[in-house]
Amino acid sequence: MSHPAETPADGPTTSEGRRVLLAAPRGYCAGVDRAVVAVEKALELHGSPVYVRKEIVHNKHVVRTLAARGAVFVDETDEVPEGATVVFSAHGVSPAVHAAAAERSLKTIDATCPLVTKVHREAVRFAKDDYDILLVGHEGHEEVEGTAGEAPEHVQLVDGPESVDAVTVRDPEKVVWLSQTTLSVDETMQTVERLKERFPTLQDPPSDDICYATQNRQVAVKKIAPQSDLVVVVGSANSSNSVRLVEVALQHGAKASYRVDHKDELDEAWLEGVRTVGVTSGASVPEILVTDVLAWLAERGFGDVEEVRTASEDLLFSLPRELRADLKAASAAAAAKAAQH
């Protein structure tokens, strides 16, 4: 999935002493890529409108671009006309949402990231074995709502180390923790340590719930942060993994760090006295937005860009099953039509 590939980040500065350290990996992950392509393919296949429940991924630019192509973003399935096509976002949905869609005879395309689905399955499995499930995650985040909705009577949300004292369980010997996929690795470990002080036999998830993309982007920003006077994180405010990157940069030595949706949110004042700017982006951010930020920095004397890579990623997910079936049927129909002529 990822291979360590260390690149030294502490080379000399340019003659002007200004440089950019560009973190890699950054930007799109496999789950985001799959979800965005799913909406694009659904539009090609079914035409506009294709309804999408919630933001397909947490990025304003992506949502605006898909909306311009005919995607209609709604909050709930009851806003979708009966029988229409609706795509579920990469963050996942609870069984109640699937049931509501079925009741309205909606045609659904489930673009939930397979790594989120994995956590759903863990929740179902531990609930079946009657565990209390402590779900470490952020209150109100769509992914957490979807995962908790798999077993609402077994799941308790733990939103950071300060929430640990309020946790109550039925049997301290039968407790497991799971987590949202896009958390800070370090803060999650602090939360888990505190949980283990209270429940020493607390079980760990069968495998890491914080996904490879979140972890890799945090490792890369940790590498550039100690040498950066400023770290710019490209990502939207509701993107959990992007917001975490700002926190991680500050915790690992960046003198300042700001999140911007796009280059127009950059502020000249941030560059005062700055020699090294770190740049990275969240897992839902198209590279064009990073390219724009680099161009803005280059215009201000930060044209020397060194990429600092801490891992390589080559993971790809196949498109949602329903969509693959539709694409196959469409190409078979096209072939049959061509054969008639």
User: Which residue, 243 or 283, is less far from ligand SF4 as judged by CB?
Assistant: 283
Burial class of 84 by CB neighbour count within 10 A (0 to 12, 13 to 18, 19+) = middle
Residue 61 annotated in ligand binding: no
**CA-based torsion, 97, 113, 150, 165: positive or negative:** negative
CB of 246 to ligand SF4, least distance (A): 16
Rounded Cα distance, 26 and 287, in Å: 9
> Per CB under 6 A, which region of 28-36, 40-48, 102-110, 266-274 contacts ligand SF4?
28-36
Residue closer to ligand SF4 (CB basis): 107 or 118: 118
Size of the residue set binding ligand SF4 (CB under 6 A): 15
239 is in an annotated binding site: yes
Residue 211 interacts with ligand SF4 (CB under 6 A): yes or no: yes
The answer to whether residue 241 forms part of the interface with ligand SF4 (CB under 6 A) is yes
Smallest distance from the beta carbon of 171 to ligand SF4, in angstroms?
A: 30
Candidate segments 10-18, 27-35, 59-67, 148-156, binder of ligand SF4 by CB under 6 A? 27-35
* Least Å from the CB of residue 241 to ligand SF4: 6
Residue list for the binding site for [4Fe-4S] cluster: 29, 113, 211
Interface positions with ligand SF4 (CB under 6 A): 29-32, 90, 113, 115-116, 181-182, 211, 213-214, 241, 283
Residue list for the binding site for dimethylallyl diphosphate: 58, 91, 141, 239-241, 284
